[in-house]
Amino acid sequence: MKIRFLFLLLLCLVGSRVIAQPVKEMVQVMVTPDRSDWTYQKGDRPEFTVRVLKNNVSLDGVTVNYEYGPELMKAEKSGSESLKKGALEIKTGTMKDPGFLRLTAWVEVDGKRYSSYATAGFSPEKIEPTTTLPADFSEFWENAKNELKKVPVKPVLTLLPERCTETVDVYHVQLDNISGKIYGILCKPKKAGTYPALLQVPGAGVRPYSGDLDNASRGVITFQIGIHGIPVNLPQVVYDDLRAAALQSYWTIGLDDRDNYYYKRVYLGCVRAIDFIAGLDYFDGQNLAVTGGSQGGALSIITAALDSRVKYLAAFYPALSDLPGYLSGRAGGWPHLFKNGYTNKPEKVAVSKYYDVVNFARFVGVPGWYSWGYNDNVCPPTSMYAAYNVIKAPKELHVFQETQHWTFPEQRTLSQQWLLEKLLQ
């Protein structure tokens, strides 16, 4: 049980972001582009170098298999060659449009396969979205928020004594949402006074939450929410069962009906969380930020666009961005709704436009801090740039090219410093 708990803790939250760090293996396949920033212009032909290390020593004579093409799409070319003098250089084709080209290499050593990849960006700042903005997008969401206003917040706070510290009180919180409830963990400084606040929105999945005591101990109210309308302090088995049954592929539920799509209640639930924070008598009434990664990165952008009470946002690798990309021959954002014919229906595509991060990004009006990697294989960078490039508000992007769907500690430190500087100024 202890081992299981530690594993789940590793995969769960650091400041509401899912962190699943890679495991280092004895044999490492190293794929390196010939530019330090991994970034090229349209028409350039990158050259990748492949090395294979065992016990940190270069191997020779090993057969390297490789393929390359646009990220998450069918490979354009493949081949195999032997390592000579510890390295193999592969010159790829180019891209005629802005986007990302990924080279994957793999070897077999002692009967086991090892692989890695690297991704070259081509004029990513020029990537344009494939989704379009519905004419009544703003009206749809204004009407939805007006309906939410008719529902009293009705907060129910339950103190969690076992989680409290000398300086921080911790509560399990229940709120009334547009339908059902929304739950979360509130951490507040014990010392009397008013404080800034940080809403932490979750990555995809079904899991419990424990709250952010670290930032609360620094003088920030933190509210970490779940999105599924179930308490966030239940035994793990409850979430496992829901994830395997009722909430399996929840992101597809109601996708053919814009008024009943699963994420409508989720997006409004984030606004409801802001309602709750704004009503706290120990909130300073002004300094409020939202942050998260993946699905939480998406919800950070969406919440900032929907609610002017949010003053800052920090988003890691935002999901739900440029969803119909696959219909235009390039990678679309997680959850890859339109990658196959099962969901590629006109009515579903039409509904997705009301929930696509790109269309919310157009309305973001507050400073934002953003970070992701070129190697992300869950939220492809093409989709994330499609959203980032339409943001007109002050923004800063921190690219850590090597990262896949995880973050380096340095990324998390930068985000933390930026948020605290804004909130505690």
Using the structure block, give the residue that is written with the tokens 């505690």: 424
pLDDT recorded at residue 19: 52
pLDDT recorded at residue 23: 80
Query: pLDDT (tens digit, 9 = 90+) per residue, 60-76?
Result: 989 999 999 999 999 99
> Residue 155 in contact with residue 174, Cβ under 8 Å?
yes
- The CATH number of 27-126 is 2.60.40.1930
Identify the DSSP state of 291.
Answer: E
pLDDT recorded at residue 420: 97
Say which of 228, 336, 405, 415 is annotated catalytic.
405
Name the stretches of the chain with pLDDT < 70: 1-20, 342
- Angle formed by the axes of helices 295-306 and 262-278, nearest 10°: 60
Say which of 294, 300, 371, 415 is annotated catalytic.
294
Indicate the domain borders of the chain. Answer: 27-126, 137-423
**What pairs with residue 370 in β-bridges?**
315, 397
Say which of 169, 212, 356, 376 is annotated catalytic.
376
Tokens read off for 404: 């896949």
Q: Is 294 a catalytic residue?
A: yes
Tokens read off for 201: 């929105």
- Out of 3.40.640.10, 3.40.50.1820, 3.40.1020.10, 3.40.50.880, the CATH code matching 137-423 is 3.40.50.1820
**What pairs with residue 50 in β-bridges?**
31, 88
- Short-list 189, 231, 181, CA closest to 206: 231
Length of the chain: 425
Tokens read off for 344: 């590629």
Tell me the C-alpha to C-alpha distance, in Å, between residue 89 and each of 34, 64, 85: 10, 11, 11
Identify the DSSP state of 416.
Answer: H
Query: pLDDT (tens digit, 9 = 90+) per residue, 151-179?
Result: 999 999 999 999 999 999 999 999 999 99
Q: Is 371 a catalytic residue?
A: no
**What pairs with residue 47 in β-bridges?**
91
Using the structure block, give the residue that is written with the tokens 């090597």: 402
